Amino acid sequence: MTWIKLASLALVVGLVSAGISKNEDLECMFLGYPDLEYDGFDRTEVLTEKNFNRTVFAEDTKSVVFFNDVEEDDSELDQYECFLQLSAQIMTKRGYNFYTVNTTKEHRLRKQEEVEKGEDTIHVYKDGYKIEYNGVRDPETFVSWLMDIPDDPVTIINDEHDLEEFENMDDECVRIIGYFEPGSVALKEFEEAAEDFMGEIEFFAVVTSKWARKVGLKRVGEVQMRRPFEEDPLFAPTSADTEEEFEEWVEKNKEPVMQKLTLDNYFNLWRDPEEEEKMILAFVDEETREGRAMKKLLDKIADENSEHAGTLEIILVDPDEFPLMVDVWEDMFGIDIEEGPQIGLIDISEKEGIWFDMSQVNLDDPKKHSDSNFEAVQSWIDQILSGSISLDDDDDDEPEPPAPPPTQKGKKSRKEL
């Protein structure tokens, strides 16, 4: 056992000589891993406006930067510190450096890096790219995501493994696939456009007719967007062949109607909707018969409403994947998630929702009632899009636009759906 003690001593000496000090006051642990312990060393540094650019944009560096407005007396400080230190213990050995930026003090730096005021966020700077992490603040989830960051913004499909990776992402995320001549200017422009969407959208390309046929591309220069839960792809304009044109097209069309909530995209989806956006939350346990029927119905709803992408947003949640949150969500919205599928128009900040009456659909025999089920849910969504069903608390205080009396009666009853 002497060699183990010597190795441990050598590790400590190495860390100290590298300028990494002990963090005596912080107690952290890797939950569920008895042989994995926090060694107590502080591996994070504070960045300011003076040293930020020369540090994170230095050549051949990989940096993780936590932008936060957490003060030293904040009760959340230790929680964030543990998350960073445990992640850093694993990833500094793999070439990453960890930093923090106090956005309360560094106003200009916050604006430079496009961080919203009061927002806590994590940016990864690697090979000249900036990638935002939107997942849960859990070391295991974050480290796994960090290890999976691709080396290049575009994956060139030239074997069955690459093709399988592309196909396995169906319904998981927005994918862009293009057909280009190898080494062409258009491919280079496509790659540069992809840099701005790393961590958010997956970009793929093919450079031979063989692989183009396998992914459904017919001509050189063709670029498609595949959005989750939508059958038909979107086609980029044939004139789009520059970085700016690709970026503009992607930015305009990147919002799908329905996305599934995951540990990796949690804070990208679990947020307040934009001003004109209608956010619908769907709790669907896909392991149950009712859940599978509801999921299939929502797939059709998403596909049929693709023209409302950017206005209508359906967040699909499988409760089995978030067991610790079920009670929180049930208390937040006053629903019984374990009873069966639930869908509702929600406001996350206000913790309120208007929930669809599930007795209007028959999920016991979904094939027989396919049309009537679709019509019931689609009618409810149409009322949301028209504003007949709304979470706006000020509706009763503001004068309503002129409308026939029957419509006004119907509005009130529909809001109770």
**What residue spans define the domains of the chain?**
44-148, 155-254, 258-386
Task: Find all residues with CB under 8 Å of 11, minimum gap 6, and list them.
Answer: 39
SS3 annotation, 206-247: ECCHHHHHHHCCCCCCCEEEECCCCCCCEECCCCCCCHHHHH
Q: What is the pLDDT of residue 3?
A: 38
Phi, psi of 154 (to 5 degrees): -125, 130
Enumerate residues 6+ apart whose C-beta is below 8 A from 365. Answer: none
Q: Looking at the predicted structure, is the pLDDT value of residue 412 above 70?
A: no
- The pLDDT tens digits for 325-349 are 999 999 999 999 999 999 999 999 8
- pLDDT > 70? residue 409: no
Per-residue pLDDT band for 118 (boundaries 50, 70, 90) equals confident
Residue 196, pLDDT > 50, answer: yes
Give the position of tokens 């346990």: 285
The H-or-E segment that residue 130 falls in is strand 129-133
Rounded distance between C-alpha atoms, residue 214 and residue 327, angstroms? 45
pLDDT of residue 402: 39
For strands 154-156 and 121-126, give the pairing: unpaired
User: What's the pLDDT score for residue 16?
Assistant: 40
Question: What is the structure's pLDDT at 198?
Answer: 92
- CATH architecture entry for 44-148: 3-Layer(aba) Sandwich (3.40)
Q: How far is CA 23 from the centre of its chain?
A: 33
Under a CB-based contact definition with an 8 Å cutoff, are residues 141 and 264 in contact? yes
Q: Is 70 exceeded by the pLDDT of residue 24?
A: no
| The CATH number, out of the four listed (3.30.1370.60, 3.30.70.20, 2.60.40.1170, 3.40.30.10), of the domain defined by the range 258-386 | 3.40.30.10
For residues 67 and 109, give the distance between their C-alpha atoms in angstroms, rounded to a whole number.
Answer: 10
Those residues with Cβ within 8 angstroms of residue 137's Cβ, 6 or more apart along the chain or in another chain:
79, 80, 83
How far apart are alpha carbons 401 and 395 in whole angstroms?
A: 11
Tokens of 135: 């997942």
- Where b means 16+ CB within 10 Å and e means fewer, 120-156 reads bbbbbbbeebbbbbbbbbebbbbbebbeeeeeebbbb
The pLDDT value recorded for residue 97 is 97
- The least confident of 79-83, 201-205, 246-250 is 79-83
Between CA 370 and CA 165 the distance in angstroms is 33
pLDDT higher at 178 or 31: 178
HSE of 235 in the Cβ direction (CA atoms, 13 Å)? 11
Q: What integer pLDDT is reported at residue 159 of this predicted model?
A: 95
For the purposes of burial, counting CB atoms within 10 Å of the CB of 89, is it exposed (0-12), middle (13-18) or buried (19 or more)? buried
% pLDDT > 70, the chain: 87
The answer on pLDDT for 413 being more than 50 is: no
Q: Which range, of 66-80, 88-102, 114-128, 273-287, averages the lowest pLDDT?
A: 66-80
Is it the case that residue 22 has pLDDT exceeding 80? no
Residue 4: the pLDDT is 35
Give the residue-averaged pLDDT of 137-153.
93
CB 109 within 8 A of CB 100: no
Residue 198 to residue 169: CA distance in whole angstroms: 15
Burial 322-339 (b: 16+ CB within 10 A, else e): beebbeebbeebebebee
Encode pLDDT of 279-304 as tens digits: 999 999 999 999 999 999 999 999 99
How confident is the model at residue 377, as a pLDDT? 97
For the segment 79-88, the average pLDDT, to the nearest whole number, is 92
Given a contact cutoff of 8 angstroms between Cβ atoms, the answer to whether 299 and 259 are in contact is: no
Q: What is the 3-state secondary structure (H, E, C) of 183-200?
A: CCHHHHHHHHHHHCCCCC
Residue 356 has pLDDT above 70, yes or no: yes
The band of 36, judged by pLDDT with boundaries at 50, 70 and 90, is confident
Q: How confident is the model at residue 393 (pLDDT cuts 50, 70, 90)?
A: low
What is the reported pLDDT for 352? 93
Higher pLDDT, 23 or 145: 145
The sheet that has 121-126: what strands, in order across it?
A: 44-46, 96-102, 62-68, 121-126, 129-133
**Residue 340: how many other CB atoms lie within 10 Å:** 15
What digits encode the pLDDT tens for the residues 204-230? 999 999 999 999 999 999 999 999 999
Q: Does domain 155-254 have CATH number 3.50.50.60?
A: no
Least Cα distance to 351 among 268, 267, 281 occurs for 281
Integer Cα distance of 259 and 339 in angstroms: 23
pLDDT at 252 over 80: yes
Backbone angles phi, psi at 303, to 5 degrees: -65, -40
* 15 pLDDT above the threshold of 70: no
Q: What is the pLDDT of residue 128?
A: 83
Q: Which residue did the predictor score with more confidence, 27 or 365?
A: 365
User: Which of 22-36, 102-116, 144-158, 390-404 is predicted with the least confidence, judged by mean pLDDT?
Assistant: 390-404
- Region 140-151: what's the mean pLDDT? 93
pLDDT at 72: 65
pLDDT at position 20 is 63
The pLDDT of 124-144, averaged and rounded, is 93
pTM of the model: 0.83
Residues 6 or more apart whose CB falls under 8 angstroms from that of 223 comprise 176, 177, 178, 179, 190, 235, 236, 240, 246
Q: What is the DSSP letter of 309?
A: B
Domains 44-148 and 155-254 share a fold: yes
pLDDT score at 397: 43
